[in-house]
């Protein structure tokens, strides 16, 4: 990872790019262009570095792929490269060469459109086709948002190419640059999510929360082979496993996810490439997880993390087939049509390995609401699937000011209890948001591992007591709040009161004496 100074400089540069190029295109639309061109530069340089390393082993250390002609590319070498990298880019279409010609290319927008199509097309008919298909679909180089005329659009595209090309992303691509590209991506996501309000927050989970979820999900097994997020957004939760497990263990992990929004579906796949997850190590699908699950044949999963959309609408009991769906039928009832939260929970439970762990961010209402949701909670508790409930601080998420919670699920537990943790005060104020520090994360995680009663922090409650309390899983129902009010010394207060009364009586007597003298 680039050091702190390099990261600060990188972030400053990205911010300048955003400000310099912001016109009619801003927010999430503008982000797509910045991220798309950043991704284009990454895969261009990654491919060139891969081929340079190959040629160096063959005794040609001075080989520079960007300088050869397209006609000199061998078809067998192209096929071999696609099988290893998942895509191919001809020398003339590399980011470096396109950026160098940008100012003199009167048809730059058409050049860009053709190149993006060629990169995606290079994977057609190969194992990486689904991973590359549509990756650049959100980058409309002919959009009037880039400029009213073709020349204005090309001017904007030229500036974007030059500024992205001028970014200092470290030295060796196989060392520092990989982290720098990933860091640039995460900074952009954070920057735009924080400025986009609720629409941004839907696609981005703060990295600190993602890390806590991944650490919790990794506690059950020494080796994690398959991880999953049924509402994966931009993939930030899944990619936290890389940090938590470390590069060596993470290299053995297969990443699975599904996303209903096509823009974030594309971002998630881009994010995988930017974090150097090989195309054959991830399987991200597009579609409605609750109605059209794409990974039924890939389950079970060792670790599941997710931040599903809060209280979103779904088909529910208006679809008569769902009550017989193996994912939902065990509870005997479907989540309400206007609140799909526990439908995601049941889906996740179905996909969880017997020895696995799932950590899910939930809206607090699912912990105590009645009706169908109470019956689903009752099913989860009766079958001893709820391992822990953690109350998080308020105002952690972009566009969500309320305090969310984490529900931890397990299918194999050593006891018949649920651990309740009140972490509502475990945060620091940063701007207008709250944030989990590394110390906060450690405190919450260690409390989870300790699985014991701690005054005002955690309590282990037997399932039968929870069932007797209407299957209420609200942390405040079980963990007593510490009384931080100042202790009042009643005796001292009474003594002071008697003194004040005596002083008041004496003062009244003096006033009466003065009035009497004036009357005489």
Peptide bond into 111 cis (omega under 30): no
- Closest by alpha carbon to 306, among 255, 397, 230? 230
Does 196 have pLDDT greater than 70? Answer: no
Could you identify the residue written with the tokens 């209890």?
417
- Give the residue, 457 or 180, on which the prediction is more confident: 457
Helices 178-196 and 262-274: crossing angle in degrees, nearest 10, is 150
CB 380 within 8 A of CB 465: no
5-10's contacts with Cβ under 8 Å and 24+ in sequence apart are 6/168, 6/170, 6/176, 6/180, 7/180, 7/183, 9/168, 10/167, 10/168, 10/169, 10/180, 10/183, 10/184, 10/187
Residues 6 or more apart in contact with residue 341 via CB below 8 angstroms = 308, 310, 311, 335, 362, 363, 365, 366, 373
- What is the pLDDT at residue 173? 47
Write the pLDDT tens digit of every residue in 112-139.
999 999 999 999 999 999 999 999 888 8
- What is the pLDDT at residue 362? 93
Q: For the chain, give the number of residues.
A: 520
- Give the residue, 145 or 257, on which the prediction is more confident: 257
Rounded Cα gap, residues 328 and 317, in angstroms: 11
Identity of the highest mean pLDDT range in 41-50, 232-241, 339-348, 488-497: 339-348
- What is the pLDDT at residue 442? 96
CB 105 within 8 A of CB 150: no
Tell me yes or no: is domain 4-196 CATH 1.20.1260.30.
Answer: yes
Write the pLDDT tens digit of every residue in 29-65.
677 788 888 889 989 999 999 999 989 988 999 999 9
- Closest by alpha carbon to 359, among 401, 421, 415? 421
Which range (165-174, 294-303, 314-323) has the least confidence? 165-174
Could you identify the residue written with the tokens 């209420």?
472
Q: How many CB atoms lie within 10 A of CB 168?
A: 12
- What is the pLDDT at residue 1? 43
CB 475 within 8 A of CB 421: yes
pLDDT band for 198, please (50, 70, 90 cuts).
very low
What burial letters (b/e) apply to 109-122, b meaning 16+ CB within 10 Å? bebbbebbeebbeb
Rounded Cα gap, residues 26 and 50, in angstroms: 35
pLDDT band for 459, please (50, 70, 90 cuts).
very high
Rounded Cα gap, residues 363 and 156, in angstroms: 42
pLDDT band for 177, please (50, 70, 90 cuts).
very low
- Give the residue, 38 or 413, on which the prediction is more confident: 413
- What is the pLDDT at residue 400? 67
pLDDT band for 371, please (50, 70, 90 cuts).
very high
Does 414 have pLDDT greater than 70? Answer: yes
- What is the pLDDT at residue 23? 59
- What is the pLDDT at residue 295? 96
Task: Report residue 14 as tokens.
Answer: 């990205």
- What is the pLDDT at residue 509? 72
271-275's contacts with Cβ under 8 Å and 24+ in sequence apart are 271/182, 271/185, 271/234, 271/235, 271/236, 271/239, 272/131, 272/235, 272/239, 273/39, 273/42, 273/43, 274/38, 274/39, 274/42, 274/181, 274/182, 274/185, 275/178, 275/182, 275/185, 275/239, 275/242
pLDDT band for 276, please (50, 70, 90 cuts).
confident
Across the range 299-310, mean pLDDT stands at 94
Q: Which CATH class is domain 201-477?
A: alpha beta
Does 399 have pLDDT greater than 80? Answer: no
- Closest by alpha carbon to 357, among 275, 436, 445? 445
CB 398 within 8 A of CB 344: no
Does 346 have pLDDT greater than 90? Answer: yes
- What is the pLDDT at residue 178? 44
Handedness of CA 352, 358, 362, 368 (dihedral sign): positive
Across the range 446-465, mean pLDDT stands at 95
Angle CA 218–474–449, to nearest 5: 30
Rounded Cα gap, residues 292 and 294, in angstroms: 6
pLDDT band for 222, please (50, 70, 90 cuts).
confident
DSSP-derived secondary structure for 266-285: HHHHHHHHHTT--GGGEEEE
Rounded Cα gap, residues 176 and 168, in angstroms: 11
Q: Where do the structural domains in the chain lie, given as residue ranges?
A: 4-196, 201-477
Does 87 have pLDDT greater than 70? Answer: yes
- What is the pLDDT at residue 425? 92
Across the range 276-285, mean pLDDT stands at 92
Does 225 have pLDDT greater than 90? Answer: yes
Percent of the chain with pLDDT over 90: 55
């Amino acid at each position: 990872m680039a050091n702190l100074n390099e990261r600060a400089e990188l972030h400053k540069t990205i911010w300048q790019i955003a400000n310099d190029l912001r016109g009619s295109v801003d927010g999430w639309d503008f982000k797509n262009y910045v991220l798309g061109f950043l991704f284009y530069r990454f895969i261009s340089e990654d491919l060139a570095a891969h081929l340079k390393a190959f040629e160096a082993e063959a005794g040609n250390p001075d080989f520079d792929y960007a300088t050869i002609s397209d006609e000199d590319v061998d078809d067998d070498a192209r096929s071999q490269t696609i099988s290893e990298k998942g895509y191919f880019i001809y020398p003339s279409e590399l980011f470096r060469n396109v950026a160098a010609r940008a100012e003199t290319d009167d048809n730059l927008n058409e050049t860009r459109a053709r190149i993006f199509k060629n990169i995606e097309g290079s994977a057609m008919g190969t194992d990486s086709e689904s991973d590359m298909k549509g990756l650049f679909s959100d980058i409309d180089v002919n959009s009037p948002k880039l400029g009213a005329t073709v020349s204005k659009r090309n001017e904007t595209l030229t500036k974007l190419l030059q500024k992205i090309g001028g970014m200092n992303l470290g030295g060796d691509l196989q060392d520092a640059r990989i982290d720098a590209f990933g860091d640039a991506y995460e900074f952009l996501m954070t920057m735009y999510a924080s400025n986009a309000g609720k629409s941004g927050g839907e696609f981005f989970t703060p990295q600190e929360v993602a890390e806590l979820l991944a650490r919790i999900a990794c506690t059950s097994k020494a080796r994690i082979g398959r991880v999953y997020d049924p509402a994966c957004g931009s993939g930030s939760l899944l990619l936290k496993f890389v940090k938590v497990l470390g590069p060596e263990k993470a290299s053995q992990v297969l990443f699975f996810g599904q996303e209903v929004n096509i823009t974030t579906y594309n971002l998630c796949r881009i994010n995988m490439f930017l974090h150097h997850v090989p195309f054959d190590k991830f399987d991200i699908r597009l579609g409605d997880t609750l109605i059209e699950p794409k990974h039924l044949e890939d389950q079970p999963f060792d670790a599941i993390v997710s931040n599903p959309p809060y209280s979103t609408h779904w088909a529910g009991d208006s679809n008569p087939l769902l009550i017989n769906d193996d994912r939902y039928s065990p509870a005997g009832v479907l989540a309400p049509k206007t609140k799909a939260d526990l439908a995601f929970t049941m889906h996740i439970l179905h996909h969880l390995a017997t020895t696995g762990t799932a950590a899910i961010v939930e809206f607090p209402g699912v912990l105590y609401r009645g009706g169908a949701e109470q019956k689903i909670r009752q099913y989860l508790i009766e079958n001893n699937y709820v391992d822990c409930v953690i109350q998080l601080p308020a105002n952690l998420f972009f566009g969500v000011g309320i305090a969310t919670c984490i529900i931890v699920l397990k299918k194999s537990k050593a006891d018949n209890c649920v651990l309740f943790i009140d972490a509502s005060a475990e945060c620091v104020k940063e701007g207008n948001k709250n944030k989990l520090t590394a110390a906060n994360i450690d405190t919450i995680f260690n409390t989870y591992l300790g699985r014991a009663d701690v005054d005002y922090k955690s309590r282990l409650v037997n399932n039968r007591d929870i069932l007797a309390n209407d299957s209420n899983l609200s942390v405040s129902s079980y963990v007593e709040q510490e009384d931080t009010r100042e202790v009042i010394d009643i005796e001292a207060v009474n003594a002071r009161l008697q003194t004040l009364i005596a002083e008041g009586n004496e003062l009244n007597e003096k006033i009466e004496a003065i009035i009497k003298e004036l009357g005489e």
